[in-house]
Amino acid sequence: MLKFGEKGYAGDAKNPGAVHDLFARVGGTNNSGDMKAEIMVKINSGNVLLDDLWLWRADHQQGGEGIKDRRNPVDTGLQVNGDNVTGYGLAAEHTLANLLEWNGEFGQTYFY
């Protein structure tokens, strides 16, 4: 899991944090075994800009063979816990529970 910030940190609206051009993949790069993650990316701080995130639970292996039987388990792609978080270009695929959990307030998304 990639974690940005600490819970309860409000951040700074005049100088926001930023996560951009992030690609995260769980499994699928080789046939050596299953990978797993409860949450791929967790944003705890407030006043953060997210731009161009692609969070992908592998749905096929290296040779193109499909994933079966809940292999490479991921529950949640993106979890936002901070307030005033803005997302541009967010994508999450193939998770087994929620693609996105937005727990913060006053957030916005553009192109999800």
3-state SS, one letter per residue, for the chain = CEEECCCCCCCCCCCCEEEEEEEEEECCCCCCCCCCEEEEEEECCCCEEEEEEEEEECCECCCCCECCCCCCCEEEEEEECCCCCEEEEEEEECCCCEEEEECCCCCEEECC
Query: Span 35-41, mean pLDDT?
Result: 93
Share of the chain above pLDDT 90, in %: 73
Domain borders along the chain are: 2-7+18-28+35-105
The pair of structure tokens assigned to 19 is 């996560």
The tens digit of pLDDT for each residue in 51-78 reads: 999 999 987 766 666 766 677 889 999 9
Sheet holding 37-43, edge to edge: 2-4, 37-43, 74-80, 98-102
